[in-house]
Amino acid sequence: MAARFKMSRKGVGQLLRSPMILAEMVRRAELIQSTGEVIAPVGGPSDPHSGRYKENFFVTSTTRGGRRRDRATATVGNGSYYARWVEYGTEKVDAHHVMLRAAQAGGD
């Protein structure tokens, strides 16, 4: 006789908000953060912003994340005011795609 499984939506919701899942999301976000810090570009000694981008990575987490606010999530960000220009570039500076590359390499 084959085993049967009946999914419980309430149970799945509890699992997605559980401390175990939140801890895993935070662990992966911290891996991405550390990878981003390693590959972040740093200007020369005469650059007034030298190292500011690298020092401004952060991780936030919640058990009410996602589109429907029904799951644990962790987010990696950068508080530097010029983070978007480092990521996407400008007409004068090429994009570095630090967050993209960090997520691809560091998220397991």
Query: Regarding predicted confidence, which is higher, 51 or 107?
Result: 51
pTM to 2 decimal places: 0.86
pLDDT of residue 21: 96
pLDDT of residue 19: 96
pLDDT in tens, 38-85: 999 987 777 766 889 999 999 999 999 999 999 999 999 999 999 999
What is the secondary structure of 3-52 as a DSSP string? ------HHHHHHHHTSHHHHHHHHHHHHHHHHHHHHH-----TT-TTTTH
pLDDT of residue 106: 74
pLDDT of residue 48: 65
